[in-house]
Amino acid sequence: MSLSLHERIGLSLAPERAVWLRLSRGLRPRLVERAVAACPPAEQGPAWRPALAALRGLLQEQRLPPRAATLVLSNHFVRYQLIPWREGLDTPEEWQALVQHAFRQVYGDAAAQWLYRWSGSGYGGPLLASAIDSELLQEAAALAQEAGLRLASVQPYLMAACNHWRGQIKVGRGAFLLAEPGRVGLACFDERGWSDLVFEPLDGDIATALPAVLPRMLLRLQRSPLPLEVFAFAGDGSAVVWPEPQTLRLRPLALPSALAALSAADRAACSMALLGD
């Protein structure tokens, strides 16, 4: 296969599928080619292993020249925490120790085997931290290398989506809601940055489940008042609609234009991989 220098490779892993995309670069990327492989749930071992095996099968069917690839991981495979600011920490090692300690308090010794990333909003603001199984990252990098790719970036779905729509979210206080099959997250922000974070399981299709789940998520917010606006995206392509509280305004986010020509099922399958700009 010939791959132009003006194209990029997008990959994604979720419990139900693995995806490979070939995309043009630029402000409005065009979908050149795609491949999707369904996978069964893990019967034992890490939940991500069937999806990684499915991705291996997809990449073995391609002959790719060396290129950088971006991998987006479903929120099912990532753990998140909002960690309060700590005075007196200066070095990356000190911040790493703080983040790892916070995860170990919740998840125990298993947290010692995870890779951590975090972003802050400046002095005094909390950190939004993520944790990914280091074994997943190592195997994904090896798999990409086998296929002639360099895994340049691995992005949690929440962060990839927030970065993709950052320019459209211009309010001072609000929330970003990201739903995918089986899981939904609500990340609140204010003028200082991230202010609260909650996740809930989703049973059934997203459009049907969200109206019942969102009020429960709002009740769980501990660190911030109710968001004024909720910017929402459903990874299955369904319209995000629910009875709105009078103090809350819903702002649905549209699927990227590169997917406009696809069927609803294909849009749902490809959206995660596309968001890893």
* pLDDT attached to residue 246: 59
| Confidence at residue 84, expressed as pLDDT on a 0 to 100 scale | 85
| Separation of alpha carbons 67 and 193, rounded Å | 34
Pairing of strands 79-83, 114-119: unpaired
Cβ–Cβ under 8 Å, residues 57 and 37: yes
Burial class (CB in 10 A: 0-12, 13-18, 19+), 171: middle
In single-letter form, the type of residue at position 32 comes to V
Q: In whole angstroms, what separates CA 61 from the centre of its chain?
A: 26
Per residue in 168-205, pLDDT (tens digit) is: 877 678 899 999 999 999 999 888 888 899 999 999 88
Q: Is the pLDDT of residue 256 over 90?
A: no
Coil/strand/helix, residue 73 = strand
Q: What percent of the chain has pLDDT above 70?
A: 91
Give the global pTM: 0.92
pLDDT of 50 higher than 90: yes
Longest C-alpha distance within the chain, in Å? 54
